Amino acid sequence: PDESVNRDKDWFQGAGAVPAKSLGLGFLFGPGGYACRRLRRFRRVKEQVPADAEGKGQDENGDVFLFHQAMDAKIKKIPVYVAIGAISKPMQHAVVATEDRRFYSHGAIDPIGIGRAILTNIQSGETVEGGSTISQQVVKNVFLSQDRTFARKAQEFVMAFLLEQNYSKDEILEIYQYGVFGANATGIDDAARTYFTTSPEKLDLAQASMLAGLVQAPTYYNPLQNYPAAKARQKIVLTS
């Protein structure tokens, strides 16, 4: 596929100049260490600054308040925002199983997922898997650039924690499904109608697994242009 995957495989590729076995230490002393220090500081300040009437706590830099305000502004600009209750269960399950199978059991960061990705990449000798959670993908797609740097990854870690402190898992999954699905379809409502002339709440397992497969590389896996690749990807989704 000619597109970088949304699960942040791009960051592992961006660290390609670093030997694979060094990625674990790189995480601890690079973006992971920075994010932990930043969050400890954030929590200390948050204890001293109560949330306002709208539930927007803020540290001395206004991080939480500005983050929540900015995210709400982005959500309001979505042409057709589809609530989780209007998205079929097969679609919800397909996305979570494919993109972040432990989404509902881990926090903003999934250490197990990161470790598994590093191990898989070491064993394969190349970058074949990313370790980002759905929350990380949301903040990256909404706020951050596609730069393959430790600084950008550190920003992503911190903002993913802020996202999970301000929004429920279902709300995060709602936001995540306003993504690109190929064929000029943006968002789950547009995708359901473009590919299957139906609504998100009526997507069945076959349709949902096809759409979930598009998330990784929308253009390449577009069934209207590359049906064999789309079907192959669908099988992977169904066995996830």
pLDDT tens sequence across 134-146: 999 999 988 887 7
Angle at CA of residue 145, ends 54 and 126, nearest 5°: 125
Hunting for tokens 């590359």 — which residue is that? 226
Better pLDDT: 66 or 177: 177
Tell me the average pLDDT across 156-161.
89
Which has the closest alpha carbon to 162: 77, 12, 38, 44? 38
Tell me the average pLDDT across 119-138.
79
0.85 exceeded by pTM: no
Q: How far is the C-alpha of 109 from the C-alpha of 116, rounded, in Å? A: 13
Better pLDDT: 44 or 66: 66
Task: Extract the tokens encoding 74.
Answer: 């982005």
Residue type, 238: L
